[in-house]
Structure 1
């Protein structure tokens, strides 16, 4: 494989992935994911959209200061203020990239930008030149390229490459293309843009028709040497091309692909689980590579074949992508130093002793309930501990539920609201419904529950249950997560986590209404 070209893996989980409704992450959560992506050996980490909000700026800045082995990228519209803001956020990066974009389809230029084609080209060139004054690594994307006129696309791409763009990215912004069509577009562009050899060709595919990975792979076979993707395929609408599927397709079919990646595949499953835990977006069991059933064989014929010779029904080894790597590491007799050391190995660093102490207290509480504590358990309790210290106005003090056959379940709870103890009691159609109604009696949040989902964090009857809820108020959608060995308590924690976010107010909006 030494003679093969490199395929650059550009991960946008922290930017485009965050645009899934309710998937907004805190600065600390973004840094944790960025560390995991660095261990995964992702080439480029798109950390956010610095001009979107102060929160996004600070998150990109924090990732840029933390990551040393991967390029850290900030997104910017083709506007002077956006690019300046991105440059400032990336100032401390070991290697920084500015990714700027402007719409190029006729409908977008006319209806959204209200600019003539010549003006769009001028603005794109001006923005790339400005970005090059801040970094040598500039990427340009023509938004809605799939619906742009081919000749105009060639013209603007030639101009931005001349202006200094080292990467040109072709996004299928609305997920409309099909594999042969999209791969053909990449081939034609590379053949018709005179200076095509002066830039890396990249693709960014959305999954509205379920073919984002197929479109990306088709583009690679037609000369693209960067793919933009997300962990678990996270992203707005139907999501983006899934990093794990792209990487393992290229790795598994080296007889087809003329390129290779530098990804450390054994970090795929741990990174997938971390992203799922932080965002609250569960991975479906039959999801390729990272789903719980991805390497399961129930058919007797399949089981017999795998036992005799693995390759009869398995084209990859589960261990190669990280399955089985998360072993039990700690128990109730483990001390603070062992706890801190294992979390450091997982890429978790605390900003203060207070955060460490909060997490350690939760670890000891969990160890009293659960004999074996796995890495996934540690990630979940760290998420809860760091969030609660910084943002928790309302905390669950105690919860008692009564549920029996033939009787309407009741819940009685005590909440701490801004330090004041409040009590409530309510009945419901089930113990979770009763608990939620009791919470609403106290908080009167006025939210609508959009999603309630339960998953087990690890295997076994003593596993923690991880509950995800999604609530909406006045157009703002947030996710909440909670975990506990008692699923009703986990549900109450998740609901309160979401309501705490709502009570913070709309400190952050989705950064990109009109993105690639």
Structure 2
């Protein structure tokens, strides 16, 4: 058995769409994390690993930003990956022409729709916004592109106007409309209501682009899918502006193990993908990060360790090997005899029961003195108790 989750999950009898798409925006929105800048080779490494995972669509960048960004997008397109390659475009003809020149499969074009943004960012009317948006959609469709239209700050936009915008986008040929929860300000219940309201008026796919300002991004996406949305925007490790975006690995593993929705991804590469993005963005993965964090499969407490040695699923919802992760028993203040004995056995060191008790006592003492019990210090402790040995 590779995992064991609550049996009550199935009792909820939830229904998800038959065809859920995940489009990853690590290379675009993820790169907008303050201080992050990815070169062409770095973007290509991440794109390849995302493709190995089996991601459906990759938002490769924003080509109008710079010559280097344009080069990066073209390089990814030329890699001939299985994933569809999308880019971000403003509602401007020159942006869309740049995307066409890059040879991408599609674009995500966007415009803010909330009165807050219209007043303080554009100083434009709702009618002005409608006309600008639709011209860009028609131009992109005329050139055979997949087109998604994203309403920025959608979750703080007047509902009737939002419906009007999306319906006009659909009428102009948009394949998908995106609900952008730009500052993570909606609740799962609010997302359920919003998606159901939109789904009653729209035939186009509905996608969810959620930010994590209140830690609700994954929950909001799952709620939206259950209400009738078809696609979700993610980033590896949940990176992005402010508190980041919907975490790719958290969403996929939650859908797979908690809700029984298998998207067909090669989940064995998740840990490697997470580490790669952490390294290339110079953003260390938090040790307590769900799914891929170091501590997810690290155990110190003696009571926990005893059980994990006997059966890992006692204190792990799934085995680390599923995602290419690994388990580690950490020695410290809370360690017991069984954890220390397991470490000694792994090192091929035999000790008496009396010696084992003394080693455990010294491990606790040294940790409480502020020392981290690494292999070197552990060997020193063992030598102090039983004398010299070859590690």
* CA deviation string 1:401-437 (max 9, x = no partner): xxxxxxxxxxxxxxxxxxxxxxxxxxxxxxxxxxxxx
C-alpha contact (below 8 Å) 1:35/1:67 kept by paired residues:
no
**Structure 1 counterpart of 2:336:** none
Change (3 A) 1:289 1:169: same
Q: Does 1:33 align with 2:46?
A: yes
Question: Matched residues in 2 for 1:156 and 1:50: separation?
Answer: 25
C-alpha contact (below 8 Å) 2:46/2:276 kept by paired residues:
yes
**Structure 2 counterpart of 1:414:** none
Question: Matched residues in 1 for 2:326 and 2:303: separation?
Answer: 24
Alpha-carbon deviation of 1:301? 3.0
TM-score w.r.t. length of structure 2: 0.77
Match of 1:252 among 236, 257, 279: 257
**Structure 2 counterpart of 1:173:** 182
**Structure 1 counterpart of 2:279:** 277
Aligned length: 315
Q: Unmatched 5+ residue regions in structure 1?
A: 326-458, 462-516
Alpha-carbon deviation of 1:4? 6.7
Q: Does 1:19 align with 2:28?
A: no
Match of 1:153 among 159, 162, 167: 162
Question: Matched residues in 1 for 2:297 and 2:230: separation?
Answer: 29
Alignment of 1:58-97 (within 5 A): 58-89=71-102, 91=103, 93=104, 96-97=105-106
Match of 2:134 among 112, 125, 140: 125
**Structure 2 counterpart of 1:315:** 317
**Structure 1 counterpart of 2:300:** 298
Alpha-carbon deviation of 1:138? 0.8
Larger-Rg structure: 2
C-alpha contact (below 8 Å) 2:107/2:145 kept by paired residues:
no
Question: Matched residues in 2 for 1:317 and 1:4: separation?
Answer: 28
**Structure 1 counterpart of 2:228:** 223
* CA deviation string 1:333-359 (max 9, x = no partner): xxxxxxxxxxxxxxxxxxxxxxxxxxx
TM-score w.r.t. length of structure 1: 0.59
* CA deviation string 1:172-208 (max 9, x = no partner): 11121222112221122112x2xx22x2211011111
* CA deviation string 1:431-452 (max 9, x = no partner): xxxxxxxxxxxxxxxxxxxxxx
**Structure 2 counterpart of 1:163:** 172
More helix by share: 2
C-alpha contact (below 8 Å) 1:99/1:141 kept by paired residues:
yes
Question: Matched residues in 2 for 1:130 and 1:4: separation?
Answer: 30
Change (3 A) 1:100 1:4: closer
Question: Matched residues in 2 for 1:221 and 1:7: separation?
Answer: 11
Alpha-carbon deviation of 1:324? 4.4
RMSD: 1.9
Question: Matched residues in 2 for 1:262 and 1:49: separation?
Answer: 28
Q: Secondary structure at the match of 2:295?
A: coil
C-alpha contact (below 8 Å) 2:63/2:98 kept by paired residues:
yes
Q: Say which structure, 1 or 2, has more relative contact order (CA 8 Å, 6+ apart).
A: 2
Alignment of 1:339-488 (within 5 A): none
Question: Matched residues in 1 for 2:213 and 2:280: separation?
Answer: 24
Question: Matched residues in 1 for 2:206 and 2:287: separation?
Answer: 34
Question: Matched residues in 2 for 1:58 and 1:44: separation?
Answer: 19
Alpha-carbon deviation of 1:53? 1.4
* CA deviation string 1:375-414 (max 9, x = no partner): xxxxxxxxxxxxxxxxxxxxxxxxxxxxxxxxxxxxxxxx
Alpha-carbon deviation of 1:460? 7.0
Q: Unmatched 5+ residue regions in structure 2?
A: 1-15, 328-373, 377-391
* CA deviation string 1:6-37 (max 9, x = no partner): 32111100000101111111111111111111
Change (3 A) 1:184 1:297: farther
Question: Matched residues in 2 for 1:11 and 1:223: separation?
Answer: 20
Question: Matched residues in 1 for 2:278 and 2:20: separation?
Answer: 26
Match of 2:241 among 236, 239, 243: 236
**Structure 1 counterpart of 2:59:** 46
Alpha-carbon deviation of 1:88? 1.2
C-alpha contact (below 8 Å) 2:17/2:230 kept by paired residues:
no
Alpha-carbon deviation of 1:121? 1.2
Question: Matched residues in 1 for 2:29 and 2:158: separation?
Answer: 25
Change (3 A) 1:460 1:153: farther
Please identify, of 56-65 and 176-185, the stretch whose mean Cα deviation from structure 2 is larger: 176-185
Q: Secondary structure at the match of 2:299?
A: coil
**Structure 2 counterpart of 1:354:** none
Q: Does 1:134 align with 2:123?
A: no
Please identify, of 109-118 and 170-179, the stretch whose mean Cα deviation from structure 2 is larger: 109-118
**Structure 1 counterpart of 2:199:** 190
Change (3 A) 1:214 1:460: farther
Change (3 A) 1:160 1:88: same
